[in-house]
Structure 1
Amino acid sequence: MKIVIANSSNQPIYEQITSQIKELIMKGELREAEPLPSIRNLAKELQISVITTKRAYDELEKEGFIVTVPGKGSYVAAENKELLHEKRIKVVEEKLVEAVTAAKSIQISLGQLQEMLSLLYEEE
């Protein structure tokens, strides 16, 4: 699992960790029941406080992304596939809102934006 901490970011370190782990789960790079590094190992690897890592794991558990089994560690939570799909759709919608806002700010018409989207979609 590759997590990068940006010291220059305004986002707290625990939020950087949680957002990156969520993204890995939503992309399917971390799968259901897959073990996560221990809190201590992740803290050591990232050279951060164990308290910060624990806070990140607590947030992920509260949001239902991971489960922690006392004495065994933390694992990617078994998630309803429909719920995971909805979360992925939400990410796409957020990015589309950003694209629409940017397009409107430079007067790109809806037709032009749809044409751009079609071209990009068919490239993949």
Structure 2
Amino acid sequence: MDIVLRNNADQPIYQQIKNQMADQILCGTLSEGQQLPSIRGLAKALGISVITTKRAYEELENEGYIDTVPGKGTFVSRRDRTELQRQQQAVVTEELRQTIAQIRRAGMELEEVLALVRHFYEEG
């Protein structure tokens, strides 16, 4: 598992961890049933608070990406990746709907928005 944290990023640290782990699960870098580092182990490896790591794991579990087995550890969920992607796409669709409403209120033109989307998408 490869996680890169940026202190100057717009996202909080727990969100960076969550997003990177979710991406690695969806693309198969982290495979179904694979055991993940403990919360304390990951916190130590990343040099961050246990509370921060715990929050990332809790959100990943709530969204179905990972499962915690008491006394055994935390594992990548055996759920269907396609279903996880569908759930994520539904969230993105709703967020996009809200963003488009804000864009209209701001008076931005479609071409401006498309150029921004293209820029941010290519930026990665």
Structure 1: which amino acid aligns with 2:5? Answer: I
Distance 1:23 1:51 in 2: 22
List 4+ stretches of structure 1 deviating above 6 A.
none
Aligned to 1:23: 23
Structure 2: which amino acid aligns with 1:36? Answer: L
Distance 2:53 2:3 in 1: 12
Q: Is the 8 A contact 1:61 1:67 kept in 2?
A: yes
Secondary structure of 1:29's aligned partner: coil
Q: What TM-score results when the alignment is normalised by the length of structure 2?
A: 0.70
**Structure 1 residues 106 and 44 mapped into 2: Cα distance closer, same or farther (>3 Å)?**
closer
**Structure 1 residues 26 and 107 mapped into 2: Cα distance closer, same or farther (>3 Å)?**
closer
Structure 1: which amino acid aligns with 2:69? Answer: V
Bigger radius of gyration among the two: 1
Q: Is the 8 A contact 2:36 2:74 kept in 1?
A: yes
Per-residue CA shift, 1:56-77, capped at 9, x if unaligned? 1011001110000111110000
Identical positions, percent: 48
Structure 2: which amino acid aligns with 1:8? Answer: N
Structure 2: which amino acid aligns with 1:105? Answer: E
Distance 2:114 2:23 in 1: 32
Distance 2:4 2:73 in 1: 22
Secondary structure of 1:67's aligned partner: strand
Secondary structure of 1:32's aligned partner: coil
Matches within 5 A, 1:1-124: 1-84=1-84, 86=86, 90=89, 104-105=111-112
Q: What TM-score results when the alignment is normalised by the length of structure 1?
A: 0.70
**Structure 1 residues 47 and 81 mapped into 2: Cα distance closer, same or farther (>3 Å)?**
closer
Number of residues paired by the alignment? 101
